[in-house]
Chain A
Amino acid sequence: MNLPALVCLVVVLAYPIGYAAYLSVHEVSLRQLRSGEMPWAGLANFARLLDDEVFWLSLRHTFVFVVVSVVLEVVLALGIALVIDDERVWISRVTRALILLPWAVPPIVNGLLWAFIFNAQYGYLNRTLSAIGVIDEYVNWLGTPGLAMAAVITAYVWRTTPFNILLYHAALQGIPAELYEAADVDGASPGQRFLGVTLPLLLPVIAVSLILRTTFAFMVFDEILAITQGGPGNDTWVAAWYTYRMSFQPPFNIGLGAASAWMLALIVGVISLVYVRFLYRRVEL
C-alpha cells in the first residue's frame, strides 16, 4: 500500500535532489541541454557562485526578509489569536470567520494586488495616506531602496499570518479553564496571566510555527516576481529569485542554478536542525 507514495517520493523528491547535486558539478546550460552531453565542471559552479556579489547580496536580503517576516507573523498572529479567543463580544465570531481569507488568496494575486496598493501614481496606499494627511507628496514605495523590501515583506506577511493565527487559536482553545481560574484565585493581573499561563503553554506551538514559517519564508518567490522582480536595482533579490533567474532566464546557467539551489537547501536544512534541536528539546514536545 505504500508503493505508490514511495515511487512518487523517489521520483519527484529524492532523485531530483541527488540529480541537483550532479548538475551542480557539471557544466549545464542551453547548449549542453540540446546536445545531451554535460562536461564535468568540478567545483567551478560553486566557485563562481561564491564569487558572485549578487549571490551574497541575495543571501543577505533573504536573511533580512526571513527574520523580519517571521517575527512579524508570530507577533501579529499572537495578538490576533488572543483577541479572537475572547468570545464574550459577538464581533469575535466575525473575526474568526475571516481569519483564513488572506490564506485563500493565491500568492501571485497577493503580489499583484500589493503592487497596485504600493503603486506610486495610482496606488491606494498613497491615496489613503494623503487623504488622512500623513503625506503631502506621493511616495515611490517600490522605487526606493529599503522601502521596496518593506513592501514585499508587508505583502508576504499579510498572506502568511493567518496560518499562524490558526495554530495559536487552536492551542489557546486547548488550555484548560482551571489554569485561568487558579490564576484568578491567586489574584494575577492580565499581564501575569499571559506570561504565567498562556505563553508557556503556547511555546510548543510557537516553536512549530517558527520552523514552518522560517523554511517557507526562505522560499519566497511569487511576491518578489509580482511586486519588484528583484528591483529597484538588485535591492530585493532573494535566494529563490537568484536561483530562478540564473537557471531559467538568461544566462540559463542550470549548473550555477543547481549550485545555488543546493546552498539554499543546505542553509534551510541547517536552520531546521538547529531549530529542532533547541526549540523542540527545550519545550519537550
Chain B
Amino acid sequence: MAIGRPRTSSRHRLTARQRAGLWIANLAAIAFLVAPLVPVILGSLHSEKSLQQDVRSLLMKPGDFTVANYRLILSGGAARGPIFEQVSYLPKSVERFPTAFLNSAMVGLAVTAATLVVAGLSAYTIARLGLPWTQALLKASVASRMIPLIVLMVPLYVMFRRYGLLNSLWGVIVAEIGFLIPYAVLILTPYFASLPSELEDAARIDGCTRFTAFLRVLLPLATPGLAACGVILFVISWHELLIPLIVVNRPELMTLPVVLAGLVSDYFVFFTLMMAICLLGLLPTVVLVLLLRKYIVRGLVAGALKG
C-alpha cells in the first residue's frame, strides 16, 4: 500500500464548490458511522422515568442527566441509589454483568493466545514451504471460512454434551479456537510471506532447525503482524454470541454477549439500563479498535484479499 501518495496532491486544486461537496460527503459518512451510537449514550444517561415521560424530545434536559444506570451495573446491582430504590424487579443481566465481563475477558485472552500459536505455526509452514499439501491447507482455510457457524454448532452441541464440555468455559474456548484458526492462518500467511527469509536461512546454516529458526528469528520480526492478528481474534471472540449461547447455560459461566442477549426478554421494561450495559459491553473492543486502527486495517485487508 502506497503511503503519502502524490497523486491526490498533484491533481488540480479543488474549486470552492468541489471542496464544499467533499465536506458534505465526508460529514454524511461520519454521520452514518456515528449517529446510531448517539441514542445509546443519551439513553444510558436517562432514568427510565424521564425517558418515558417525554417521548418527543431528542436531546436531554439537564435535570434528566444521571449516571445511576452505570453505578447499578458496575456494582452488580448493589448500588441502587434513589432511582432504583423502589424497583422490585431488576433484569438478571445487571447482577450477572461483572462476572460475564471477566468470563469474556478470560475466554478472549485464552482463545487469542492459543489460536495465535497454532495458526502461527501453520501459517509459517504455508508461507515458507509452498508445498502442495501446505497450499491445500491454505485452500481448506479459505473454504472453512464459508461454513455457517450454526452448521457447526448443532453437531458440536451433541459432541460436547457427550464429552462433558457443555457448561464449561473450556467448551467455549475449544469451539472458538477451531472456528478462528482458519481466519488467523489467512491473516498471518501473507504477513509471514512478506518478511525476508534470508535471516532464517543464515540461522539454519548456523545449525538451527526450521522450528528454532521460526522461534528465534522470525517471531521477533513478526511481532506487529502477530499483534494485529491477535487484536482481531480478541475482538471476534469478544463479539461471539452463538457459541457460548449454545454451550453454556449456567449464569456464572455466561459471557458478556450471552448476558446481553438475556436482555431481549427484558427490554420493554428497562431501555436506559439496556443502553448502559450495551455501552459498557462495546467499550473494550471499540477503544481497542480505535487505538490500534492501523494494525487492524492491515490484518483485515490481508485476511480477506491474499487468501
CB distance from B27 to the nearest CB of A (A): 7
Residues 249-278 of chain B, each 1 if its beta carbon lies under 8 Å from chain A, else 0: 000000011001101100100010011001
Within B44-67, which residues are at the interface with A (CB < 8 Å)? Answer: 51-52, 55-58
| B29 pairs with A89, CB closer than 8 A | no
Contact of A243 among B55, B150, B257, B305 (CB under 8 A): B150
Q: Which residues of B contact A194 (CB under 8 A)?
A: none
CB of B289 closer than 8 Å to a CB of A: yes
Q: Which residues of B contact A33 (CB under 8 A)?
A: 158, 161
Residues 167-196 of chain A, each 1 if its beta carbon lies under 8 Å from chain B, else 0: 100100110110011001000000000000
CB of B87 closer than 8 Å to a CB of A: no
The interface stretch among B8-16, B73-81, B220-228 is B8-16
In Å, the complex CA distance between A79 and B26 comes to: 10
| Number of interchain pairs (Cβ within 8 Å) | 303
In Å, the complex CA distance between A210 and B181 comes to: 22
Residues 117-154 of chain B, each 1 if its beta carbon lies under 8 Å from chain A, else 0: 11101101100000000100100100011111111101
CB distance from B110 to the nearest CB of A (A): 14
CB of B235 closer than 8 Å to a CB of A: yes
| A127 pairs with B154, CB closer than 8 A | no
| B261 pairs with A108, CB closer than 8 A | yes
Contact of B271 among A116, A128, A221, A229 (CB under 8 A): A116
Q: Which residues of A contact B156 (CB under 8 A)?
A: 12, 16
Q: Which residues of B contact A84 (CB under 8 A)?
A: 26, 29
Nearest to A127 among chain B residues (CB) is B58
Within B11-38, which residues are at the interface with A (CB < 8 Å)? Answer: 11, 14, 19, 22-23, 25-27, 29-30, 32-34, 36-38
- Interface residues of chain B, those whose CB is within 8 Å of chain A, are 1-2, 5-11, 14, 19, 22-23, 25-27, 29-30, 32-34, 36-40, 42-43, 51-52, 55-58, 117-119, 121-122, 124-125, 134, 137, 140, 144-152, 154-159, 161-162, 174-175, 177-179, 181-182, 185, 210-211, 214, 235, 238-239, 241-242, 246, 256-257, 260-261, 263-264, 267, 271, 274-275, 278, 281-282, 285-286, 288-290, 293, 296-297, 300-301, 304-305
- Interface residues of chain A, those whose CB is within 8 Å of chain B, are 1-2, 4-6, 8-9, 11-13, 15-17, 19-20, 22-23, 28, 33, 36, 76, 79-80, 83-89, 91-92, 94-95, 97-109, 112-117, 119, 121-124, 126-128, 130-131, 138, 158, 162-163, 166-167, 170, 173-174, 176-177, 180-181, 184, 205, 208-209, 211-212, 215, 218-219, 221-222, 225-226, 229, 240, 243-244, 247-248, 254, 257-258, 261-262, 264-265, 268-269, 272
A-B contacts besides A104-B288, A158-B36, A180-B7, 15 pairs, CB < 8 Å: A4-B122, A5-B121, A20-B155, A88-B8, A91-B30, A98-B34, A107-B241, A123-B39, A127-B57, A163-B300, A170-B305, A173-B1, A212-B304, A218-B148, A240-B148
A/B interface sample: 18 pairs, CB < 8 A: A2-B121, A8-B177, A12-B156, A13-B182, A20-B151, A23-B155, A28-B158, A91-B26, A101-B37, A107-B241, A124-B58, A127-B57, A128-B58, A138-B55, A173-B2, A177-B6, A244-B150, A268-B146
